[in-house]
Structure 1
Amino acid sequence: MKKLSILLFLFFGLQGFAQKQIKNYVQKNLNTIRTIDPDSIDFSDFETIGNAIGNSRIVMLGEQDHGDAPTFLAKTRLIKYLHEKKGFNVLAFESDFFALNEGWDHLQKQKSAIDDFIRQNIFSIWTNCKQCDNLFYTYVSRSFATKNPITISGFDSQVHGKYSNNLKKYIDDFLKMNDIPFIKSKFYETEFLPFINSTRISKDLTKHKLFISQVDSIFKQLPKKWEGSFELLVLHNLQESSKSGISFLTKGKDYMEIRDKQMAENLKWLVNQKFPDQKIIVWAHSAHILKNRDFIIPRLTNENWINMGHFFTRDSLLNQQTYIVGFSSKYGTAGRITIPNTYNVISPAKNSFETWINDDTKYAFIDFKQFRDLNPNSLEYFNMKGKYHSYNEAVWTQVFDGIFYIKDMYPCEKSVAKF
C-alpha cells in the first residue's frame, strides 16, 4: 500500500510538472496577432506563423465548427499571407472532389463564372457566410489578374456540387470509351447509371450493396493503365459513399471513418499526382485534419473515429511536409449559417489552455511543433477546446502543429454577395 501511494504521488507529481512545462512554454512563447481583418496587408504579425510553417508544402487550417465567423476571417487573412508571401497557390476544400477538380479545370476563369462556381460547388456553410465573402467573391477572382492565380480544389467524397450533375455522363463516357463488358449488360442502363446520382441520398440498402459490387466488377474489367487515375478515384468515391451510407443506415460506427479515409486518399492524390510541385492549403473542420487522435481522451464513445489527418500523416513523407493549424476560442457563441439556432461555447475550464492566455489578448498563435522539438519525450495531457467548442483532455502538442487562438467567438452572418 505504501509503495502504491508513492507511485501515485510520483505519477501525479510528474503530471503536474509536465503541465507546468507546457503552460510555461505557452505563456513565454505566445505570439500576439494584431488583427484578423482580411483587408490588412501588413503581414508582419504573421511572420511567426510563417517561420513555424517553414518549408512545409501542405498547410491545413481547421475550425471548431462550420460557422465560426472570426475563424473564417483569420483563415482568409492566413490564406492571403500564404499565397502572397509563402508561395501557396492551391486551396483545397472539404467539398465535392469531382466538382471542384473536373469542374474547376474546365471553368472559364472570369469573375462572374468563378463566383457562381464557388457558390454552387463549395458547401453553403461557407459560401453563404458573410465572413467568407472577401475570400470567395473578391480575392480568388482577383488573383487571376496576377501572375499567381489561386487554384480551387476539393477532397470530400460526398457528391453535392451543382457541377456533379455531369457526373453520370462523365462516368458513362469513360466506361464506354474503354468498352468494358459491363456496359453491355442490361443492369448498366437500368440500375448502375441511375444510381450514380443517388449514392448520397438513397436509403435502399439493397441498391447500395448492388452498386458496390458493380463498381468492383468495373475495376476488374478496366485496363491496368487507369490505376491511380482521377477517373478511378471518382468511382472509388461513389463506392465509399455507398459503404458509408450503409454504415449510417445500419447504425454502424465507421460511417465517418469511411468518409475520412477516402478524403485522405483524395488529398494524397492531389498532393502527389495533380499538384506534385505546388504548395497546398487545406480548409476543413479540425476534427478531420488533426493527427495522432489516440492522444485525445474522447468524451463520448463514438467521438474518436479514425480521421483524415490520421490516415494522411501515416505517410511519413507527407507528415514531414505538413503543418496542421488548429483553432481555439475562449468565450462567445457559435452556430452554422444553415441552422437557425446558435449555442454558447463552453466556458473556460480551470487550468485549461485558454486560461493560460491573458484576457487582454484577442488573437494569438502558439507553435506546438517547436515545443515538440525542444521536448521530444514530452507527452503532457491538458484541457483545450481544440476539436470542437467543448473540452477534451489530450496531448494537444502531438495533435496539432500550431494553434490560432481567438478570444471571442461568434457565428456567421448571411452573405451579402450579389449574383
Structure 2
Amino acid sequence: MRWNTNTFGLRRFLCMPLTLIMLSASMTSAVIPIKTAYGEAAEGTSSQPKNGALGQGPEAKTARSYQTAVSDWKRWVADHAYALHTIQPESWSANGGSIAQDKFSDLDMLIPLLADKRIVYLGENSHGVAEFNLVKTRLIQYLHQTLGYNMVAFESGLGDAALAQGQIKKMATQETMRRSIFGVWWTEETKPLFEYMKETHKSESPLRLAGFDIQVQSPLFQDAKWIPSKGLKDRALQAEQDVRKWRMSKDLSGFRKVKPELIKVYEELLQVVTKNENALKMDYPDEPHIVKLMKRALEDRIRVIQEYNELCIQSNILTEQGDYSGTQPMMEWRDRALASNLAWLATKVYPEERIIVWGHNGHISKAQSLISNMPKSMGELMPEELKRESYVMGLFTGQGQFAENTREPVQLDPMIPGSMEDILTAAGQPYTFMDLRYRENERGNSWMFERMIASYQVMMPMPLELRRHFDGVLLIKQVKMPTYLPHKK
C-alpha cells in the first residue's frame, strides 16, 4: 500500500460536485499507537517496577506486542459484532409497500440504538459502490417500517428533490430518481428505493424525499408553469447554466462583473413565487411545503452566487499554480450550507418527522476537522440539540472494485493489517456492523478509543479516532462498482 496522498492525483478531486477532497497531511505519519485499555497496563503486565528495578524478580511482566493487541481486538470483534443476513432490499406489497417484519430480524439490534433518535445518517466512503446503494435501501425500508422514519434526505439539490417529491405519484420512478439526486446514484441498485418510496405513497405513512445540497444540479425551471413570463423563464434557465459554468472558471474579475445581474434574476423569481403560490402548489401537489422549499432553493442560489462561486474560482486559480489551500474554505462553506439546510428541514419544515440522511462519510462525520488539514464537516456543524438526537453510521469497503464519480472503475488496494477494516473482517461475515457509541473501553475494543487506520475516503487510509467520527460502522467485505443508468441526453 502506498500511503501517498497524491497516489490518484489530488487535482482531479478539486471542485468536483460530490467528491470529498482529502488533503490530510497525517497520511505521512500514519502510525497506529499501541495502548492498553483505560491507559493502564494490560492484563498480564505490571505498571510498577518490582524490587526497585524494572524487569527484575519473578513477577516482572512485559507489555503486549502490537500483534497481540490486534489478536485481542479480532477475538473481541468476532464475539461482539453483528452480522447482516443480506443487503438486498426486501420485496414489498403492491398496495402501500408493507413488508413482513420477520424479513428484518437481523436488523433488530438497531432498535435500542435508534429508538430515541430523530436523525440517522447513512454514510459511504465512496459514491461508486453497488453494495452501498443496496444495503442503504434495505436499511431505509427497515427504519421506515419498524421505527417510523418517514423522510429520506439526500446529499443532492434541495430544490431538485422538492420538485421530484412534488410529482412523485404521477412521475415514472426512474424519472423521479433522475430529477432528484446526483448522477453518481443513477444506478440499478438505487432504483428499488425509489420504487419502494413511490409505492408507500399509497399508504397512510409515505416515505418522502428531500435534498439538502446547494449545488446546481439540473435547471429548476425547465417545467416551471408557475413562471408566467417567458422572458423571465428564459433568463432563469440561462442563469442556471451560468452559475454552474462560473463555478469551474478561473476568471474572478469576469464573474464579479456578471454577479449583480445573476442575483437580480433570482430575486425576481422569489417575487414570482410569492405571487404565484397557488400555481406552484397545483404543479407539485405531492409536496405540501413546495412554496417554502422553492423559496429556500432560490435563496441558496443567491448565496452560491454571492460567496461560494468566488471561493471555487479562487480555489481553481490556486490549484492551477499547484497550491491546494483554496480547497479548504470552499469545502467548509459547502458543508456549512448543507448543515444549515438539513437543520432547517428538521426544525422548520418537518419538525415532527424522523429523518434518514444519505451522504458521504466526509459530510456526515461528527469530527472531520480532527483530521489534519481538513475543514469542519456538516455533521459537526449541526446544532447541538440535533447532534444529541442523531446516530451516525459510516459505511466502509473491504476488497473488490469501486467507481470514481466519472464512472471509471478502480481496483481496491488490499486491506492494511491492523486497520479497522482488517479487524472487522475477523467477524467472518460478508456484512458486519459494529456499534461504537454505546461501548465502554476495555482490552478487546481499545481500538475504538485510539487512532486507528481506516479508509474514511476509499483508497485514502488515514488515522482516525473512530468514535469521534461515527456512532457505528458497517463493513461490506466484498464490493463492486454499480450498474449505471445512462446519463441524461
Measured against the shorter chain, the TM-score band is: 0.7 to 0.9
Q: Could you tell me which residue of structure 1 aligns to residue 201 of structure 2?
A: 144
Q: Could you tell me which residue of structure 2 aligns to residue 116 of structure 1?
A: 175
Q: Could you tell me which residue of structure 1 aligns to residue 138 of structure 2?
A: 77
Q: CA 1:31–1:211 in 2, change beyond 3 Å: closer, same or farther?
A: farther
In the TM superposition, 1:403-414 aligns within 5 A as 403-414=473-484
Structure 1 residue aligned with 2:242, among 198, 203, 207? 198
Distance 2:133 2:355 in 1: 18
Q: Would you say 1:32 and 2:89 are equivalent positions?
A: no
Unpaired stretches in structure 1, ≥5 consecutive residues: 1-10, 174-187
Distance 2:257 2:234 in 1: 12
Q: Could you tell me which residue of structure 1 aligns to residue 397 of structure 2?
A: 329
**Percent identity, aligned pairs only?**
25
Letter paired with 1:347? P
Greater shift in the superposed pair: 255-264 or 60-69? 255-264
Distance 1:43 1:124 in 2: 29
Q: What is the deviation of 1:237?
A: 4.2
Q: What is the deviation of 1:271?
A: 0.8
Larger radius of gyration: 2
CA contact (8 A) 1:88 1:280 kept: yes
Q: What is the deviation of 1:351?
A: 1.2
Instruction: Give secondary structure in 2 for the equivalent of 1:394.
Output: strand
Q: What is the TM-score with the length of structure 2 in the denominator?
A: 0.67
Structure 2 residue aligned with 1:393, among 441, 453, 463? 463
Q: CA 1:123–1:232 in 2, change beyond 3 Å: closer, same or farther?
A: closer
Q: Could you tell me which residue of structure 2 aligns to residue 63 of structure 1?
A: 124
CA contact (8 A) 1:73 1:132 kept: yes
Q: Deviations 1:157-203 (Å, cap 9, x if unpaired)?
A: 10112445468986x99xxxxxxxxxxxxxx9999995454112122
Letter paired with 2:141? K
Q: Could you tell me which residue of structure 2 aligns to residue 261 of structure 1?
A: 336
CA contact (8 A) 1:261 1:311 kept: yes
Q: Deviations 1:276-335 (Å, cap 9, x if unpaired)?
A: 110111111111111112333x5xx5xx222212212xx210110111110122211111
Q: What is the deviation of 1:92?
A: 0.9
Q: CA 1:208–1:379 in 2, change beyond 3 Å: closer, same or farther?
A: farther
Q: What is the deviation of 1:206?
A: 2.9
Q: Which has the higher helix share?
A: 1
| Root mean square deviation of aligned Cα | 3.9
Size of the aligned set, in residue pairs, is 378
Q: Would you say 1:292 and 2:339 are equivalent positions?
A: no
In the TM superposition, 1:17-416 aligns within 5 A as 26-39=77-90, 42-101=103-162, 103-104=163-164, 106-107=166-167, 109-110=169-170, 112=172, 114-127=173-186, 129-136=187-194, 138-165=195-222, 195-202=239-246, 203=249, 204-210=251-257, 230=296, 232-251=299-318, 252-253=326-327, 254-296=329-371, 298=372, 304-312=374-382, 315-336=383-404, 338-339=406-407, 341-356=408-423, 357-358=425-426, 360-371=428-439, 379-415=449-485
Distance 2:77 2:428 in 1: 15
Instruction: Give secondary structure in 2 for the equivalent of 1:43.
Output: helix
Distance 1:88 1:227 in 2: 22
Q: CA 1:284–1:164 in 2, change beyond 3 Å: closer, same or farther?
A: farther
Q: CA 1:189–1:132 in 2, change beyond 3 Å: closer, same or farther?
A: closer
Q: What is the TM-score with the length of structure 1 in the denominator?
A: 0.78
